[in-house]
Amino acid sequence: MTGVPGMSGLAGAVLIGGTSSDAGKSLLVAGLCRALARQGVRVAPFKAQNMSNNSVVTLDGGEIGRAQALQAYACGLEPSTRFNPVLLKPGGDRRSHVIVRGRPAGDVGAADYFTRRTRLLEVVTDELRSLREEFDVVICEGAGSVAEINLRDTDIANMGLAQAADLPVLLVTDIDRGGSLAHLFGTTAILGADDQSRIAGYVINKFRGDPAILAPGVEQVKQITGRPTLGVLPFDPDLWIDAEDSLASPVGRRVGPPGTAPVSAVEGALGSRLRVAAIRLPRISNSTDVEALACEPGVEVTWVDDAASVADADLAVLPGTRATLADLAWLRSRGIDAALIARAAADRPTLAICGGFQMLAHRIVDGIESTSDPSAVDGLQIFDIDVTFGTEKVVRRVSGSVAGHRIEGYEIHHGRVVRSAETGWLVDDVDGPEGARRGATYGTHWHGLLASDGFRRDFLREVAARSGVPDFTPAADISVDAIRRAQVDRIADLVSAHLDLDELVEIVRCGADPGLPTIRHSLQQRTR
C-alpha cells in the first residue's frame, strides 16, 4: 500500500466509512472521539469533504460542517477548519457554494467540481497530515457510501483519501433499514482489490432485539469476507446529534433532542404547551437553530410547509436559506407570505433568522446567491430595511445583549442591511444595532441565539403572553449545552459498551491486516 509521501510513521488514524448515507458515521465518530478523550487520548476528528448547509463558525472566522464541530466538542476541542477542509453548501440550479479551509472558493456545478476535486486532494491530505503530527489519534469520517464507484477516480473523501493517506477503513451499516449484511458484503466486493485491502472490519448500527439472533449472520459475513465485525450497536431512540443536512428536517417531523420530557408530561406541571411552526424552506440552512426551542419542556416544534400551519401556531420561525430570492418566491407560491404578514398585523409572534430576516425587508437586491431573474424583488415589507447582497461574505462569531441578557451567536451571510427607521432588536458588541423588531415580529442575522438559556426562557415567556398562553412557564433548569454534553456522553457510553475498542486501537496502530482476502467476482476477472 502506498500513500502520500510523508504520511507514513505519523500518529494513528482510521476512516469510518459507510455502506450508505445516514448509516451512522457522524454519530460513531463522535462517540469514538469522546470515548478515547475520556481515556486521556489526544484525539481529533476529520472529514475531508462534507456537503451540508448546516455549518458553524470557527474562532478565526472560517466555516465547517456542524457535525465536525460537534465531534470537536466530543474531543474537548474548539472547532477548527482543519477538521473539515472542504465544505460544499448546496444552493439552487444544481450548484454548490464551495468552502476551502474555511473560506469561500466560489460557486460551481457538479461537473466543474469534479474537475477540481483532484486538486483538492492535496489540501485535505495536508490538513490530515498536520492533525496526525499534533494528535495521538485522528478519527476520520467518510462521505455517503464508499462504494460510489462512478466517483472513485475523483474521490477525496472515502477510498481515495484512504489510499492517499494510508488509512485503514471501518465500514458502518444501518441494520434498521434492512439488508445490512448484504450491504457489507456487496460494498466490499464492488471495490477494487487495492481498496478492499483497506477495509479492516465492520460495525453494525441500530440493531433492535437480541444480538444472539444476529450472531450467525455476523459469523457468516466474517467467513465470506475474512473481516471481523467489531461491534453491534443497539438502536437507541434517545440518541441525538445535531442535524447535518436538510434530510433530517422533513415536513411534519417534530424537532428536538430525545431525553427531554414530552409535551404531554409537562402540560400539567408547567402550564399549557406552545406550538411552534418552523417553516421548511426548500433551500434551508442552519436548520438546527430551532432545536434549542424544542429542548424546552412544553414546547412543540414541527417543520411545516403550508400557510394554515403557519397561521395557527403560537410562534412561527422563518429560518435561514442558501437562496433568499428563490425561497421567497416559494413562500409566495404557497401563500405563506400572506400568513406571515397577517401575523405581523395581528401582533402574533414570528422569529426570522438570517435569510428569513432578509425576506421581511422592503427591497432585496441579490446578484450573488441568486441566478434567477429578476435579481431585485420586493420583500414582505414588514421591517423598514433594505437588503443588498455583497460579494464579500460575512462569517464571524458575535456577542452582544438583548433585554438585559448577554448572548452569543454567529453570522454567515452575504446580505447587508440598510436601515431607515428601524433601530435594531439586539445590540452587537462591535457593530451596535443588529436585527429588527416590529411588535411581535423579531428578525436577526444571528444564528445560535436561542442556545442562550436565559434569553430563550424570557423570549418564550413573551411569546406565550402574546399568544394567549399566559400559564406557560419555561423550565428553570434546561441548559442546551448540558443536553448536548449528556448526549455526547451517552453516545460514547454506547460505543464503549458495544464496540471492541481494543481491536479498534490495534487497527489504528497497525492498519488493516495485510493478509485480508480480496473478494473476486466474474466481472473483476473479465476486466483484469
Task: CATH number of the domain at 457, please.
Answer: 3.40.50.880
CA gap 379, 391 in Å, rounded? 20
Percent of the chain past pLDDT 70, that is, above it, reads 87
Report if residue 252 sits inside a domain: no
**Domain assignment of residue 3, yes or no:** no
**List 183, 414, 447, 498, catalytic entry:** 447
- Give the per-residue pLDDT at 9: 44
Count of domains for the chain: 2
Q: Return the higher-pLDDT residue of 416 and 270.
A: 416
**pLDDT at residue 454 greater than cutoff 60:** yes
- Of 354, 413, 445, 498, the active-site residue reads 354
Note whether 39 and 171 are same-domain residues.
yes
CB 205 within 8 A of CB 183: no
- Judgement on whether residues 186 and 296 belong to the same structural domain of the protein: no
CA 107 to CA 318: how far, in whole Å? 25
Position 528 scores a pLDDT of: 43
pLDDT of residue 7: 40
Please identify, among 459, 477, 495, the residue that sits at the C-terminal boundary of a domain.
477
Whether residues 461 and 492 share a domain: the answer is no
Sheet of strand 103-109: strand arrangement: 49-51, 86-90, 95-100, 103-109
Q: Is residue 249 part of a domain?
A: no
Lowest-confidence region among 60-69, 371-380, 476-485: 371-380
244 is a domain residue: no
Range 325-352 average pLDDT? 97
Q: Is the pLDDT of residue 123 over 90?
A: yes
Which pLDDT does position 193 carry in this prediction? 95
Cα 511 from Cα 499, distance rounded (Å): 18
| Residue 251, domain member (yes or no) | no
pLDDT value at 488 more than 60: yes
Q: How far apart are CA 46 and CA 12, in angstroms?
A: 13
Tell me what pLDDT residue 421 has: 64
Q: What is the mean pLDDT of the chain?
A: 88
Intra-chain end-to-end CA distance of the chain, in Å: 19
Is residue 243 over pLDDT 90?
A: no
Q: Is 112 exposed, middle or buried (0-12, 13-18, 19+ CB in 10 A)?
A: middle
What pLDDT score was predicted for residue 270?
A: 46
Average pLDDT over residues 452-478: 92
Is 354 tagged catalytic? yes
pLDDT for 105: 85
Render pLDDT for 18-77 as a digit per residue (tens, 0 to 9): 999 989 999 999 999 999 999 999 999 999 999 988 899 999 999 999 999 999 999 999
pLDDT mean over 242-268: 52
223 within a domain of the structure (yes/no) = yes
State how beta strands 432-434 and 426-428 pair: antiparallel
Q: Per residue in 420-444, pLDDT tens?
A: 666 789 999 998 999 999 999 999 9
pLDDT above 90 for 249: no
| In a shared domain, residues 357 and 469 | yes
Q: Are residues 222 and 268 in the same domain?
A: no
Same domain, 161 and 84: yes
Do 426 and 521 share a domain, yes or no? no
Q: What's the confidence (pLDDT) of residue 251? A: 64
Residue 507 and residue 447 in one domain:
no
Confidence grade of residue 368 (pLDDT, cut at 50, 70, 90): low
Q: Is the pTM for the entire model greater than 0.85? A: yes
Q: In terms of domains, do 302 and 202 share one?
A: no
Say if residue 304 is in the same domain as residue 438: yes
Q: Cis omega before residue 211 (within 30°)?
A: no
Residue 248: inside a domain: no
Residue 65 C-alpha cell reads as 460542517
Q: Please check whether residue 364 lies inside any domain of the structure.
A: yes
Residues 500 and 353 in one domain: no
521 shares a domain with 399: no
- The confidence score (pLDDT) of residue 170 equals 98
Q: Are 315 and 466 in contact (CB under 8 A)?
A: no
Q: List the CATH number of the domain containing 151.
A: 3.40.50.300
- Return the C-alpha cell found at 417: 442591511
Could you list the residue range(s) of the whole structural domain that residue 327 is in? 261-477
